Structure 1
């Protein structure tokens, strides 16, 4: 922010960081599902049940949906000049704050779920 304004380049940077983090989360979910499917027979008792797998797939969908929402916002921002500052009351900034809140919520959910799954399947 410069002189009480927000430059779109700052918002775009945050979008890039979020998308990279979401890619990592999606990869982690895929790895957990793959690991669960390939447990040796003697460890099948430690595998995730169908409800846990459904919850994991739903979580992956939420991550993918948020990433898509960020992509849409990035497309909208392309219509603005890269150096054009906006104010804190601007629609793009309030949308950005909403995305930030959603991103932090999913971060907390993701870390809790992955931690629980690691305990469950005994990695």
Structure 2
């Protein structure tokens, strides 16, 4: 009987991470004029409907509910920051684009899950 309880406990502990696994983040973001559309699907990222080769080298920073993704396209550094991946806000979510010469442009993002 004691072995049975131990087996049930072991099975419960081992299966808990599988049950608690979350689906990947699937977000579509655009700037107010919709001249830049960014899709995030877990670790994959597409810009304007294509997967540029330069975006392979990307970094992701997680800080509680916030997420920041950094990638390079055409020599420009793009930083996407979502302040709360569960509740989006144009005031707190943005994309920052920095050129090779150091010029920076920051645009608010309108994001929604898809």
Q: Which has a greater percent of strand?
A: 2
TM > 0.5 between the two? no
Q: TM-score, structure 1 length as denominator?
A: 0.28
Q: Which has a greater percent of helix?
A: 1
